[in-house]
Structure 1
Amino acid sequence: MRRRITAALATTVLAGGLLAAAVPAQAAPVTTDAVARGPITCKPSELRQQAAQLDRKADKEAQLGNRTEAARLHELADAYRAKAKACEDADNGAGSPFPG
């Protein structure tokens, strides 16, 4: 009798744990539709402006002796410039959605 109660208790605990783990995954809304996310906007001029600001800040950090922070800021500025170039390339390479 004691084994049956222990086995039944273990089964309900495991089943409850599985249900508790599955509920958050099912409760989250999933949208894979690109229209639901809205249009992607890209402003290369603003990205380049942010890169220039980061370069100025990196130069100040380098003057203060913070070489690692300056290098991190320069890498971040390079990433902003790369993103701006990718946006420009995407805009220039994007053709008409309805050729003809």
Structure 2
Amino acid sequence: MESSAQAARREARAGIDEHACRAKGGHVGSIGMFGSPACVRPLPDGGKVCTDKTDCEGRCLNARSLLPPGTAVNGTCQREEPLDGCWQEVDGGRAMQGWCAD
């Protein structure tokens, strides 16, 4: 018998156009703690130093250990999308509240 997690992964995989994903430079991979299939796409400015989300195609992220919100910090542009796990955005050169998502 198929578990609900297996059924959800199968359904998510069926909704991915692998050809379109590859055309965008991505690959089908597993993300999150449940290994959900997704089109994982590198972002062109990933790894670039940033101080705000306007500096990046994705998010500007604190690449260090979690900092207290409001701490002055430079970040790096998100390397790939979708973003999962835990992260802390940088906005206006300051660390924001940390987040975790799956």
Question: TM range, normalised to the smaller chain?
Answer: under 0.3
Of structures 1 and 2, the one with the larger relative CO (CA 8 A, separation 6+) is: 1
Q: Which has the higher helix share?
A: 1
TM-score, normalisation: structure 2: 0.23
Which has the larger Rg? 1
TM-score, normalisation: structure 1: 0.24
Q: Which has the higher strand share?
A: 2
